[in-house]
Amino acid sequence: MATRDVFSEDELAQLRAFPEPACAELIRFFTLTPADEEFVRRFRDRKNVLGAAVQLCTLPWLGFVPDDVAAAPAAAVARLSERLGIPVGELRGYGARGQTRTDHLKAVAAHLSWRQVDGPRWKALEGFLFARAMEQTRRSCCSGRRASTCHRHGWSGLAWCSSWSAPRPRETGRGMRRGSALP
């Protein structure tokens, strides 16, 4: 199922944009280390320094960088602006050329030691993520009455779950019937 089949265009636009960071996120993700500051100052022009800093902080925060870097949350830009001594308004002109943003993002990813995932690594990552997802599903869905609910609704794809067992018949006084709760 494609993403566009699940979300409306407005919802997709919202997911692809910058959310407002909480105070703790501002501190955690929008604080430049001396090495980070040295890295972003290598870019020429103040708008490129500030734009690269936004990308550098956004990538670990969201796991991606929205296309409109200039639409970054005002509090985050102000925090970086103050640290770098660059006016907030400089970000407006950042990345007019799409290639600039792309080149900076590649440099930022390299600085953060992020790597492109190739075929064999992608397969390993996919397996890892699938196992974690199944672990979470097992914890949340396959315990107690929830397991019964899964079974009742025909979600039998959960049979791989090690703690899964189909509901057992219950004694009702008029014979046996399928129960709605697991013992």
Give per-10-residue mean pLDDT for the chain (183 aa).
Answer: 72 90 95 97 95 96 92 96 96 88 94 85 83 71 51 44 41 42 41
**pTM reported for the whole predicted model:** 0.65
Judged by DSSP in three states, 177 sits in strand
**Within 10 Å of residue 47's Cβ, how many Cβ atoms?**
21
Pairing outcome for strands 176-178 and 169-171: antiparallel
User: What are the domain boundaries of the chain?
Assistant: 3-111, 120-178
Letter string b/e over residues 132-151, b meaning 16 or more CB atoms within 10 A of that residue's CB: eeeeebbeebbeeeebbebb
Q: Which of 51, 62, 79, 60 is nearest to 14 (CA)?
A: 62
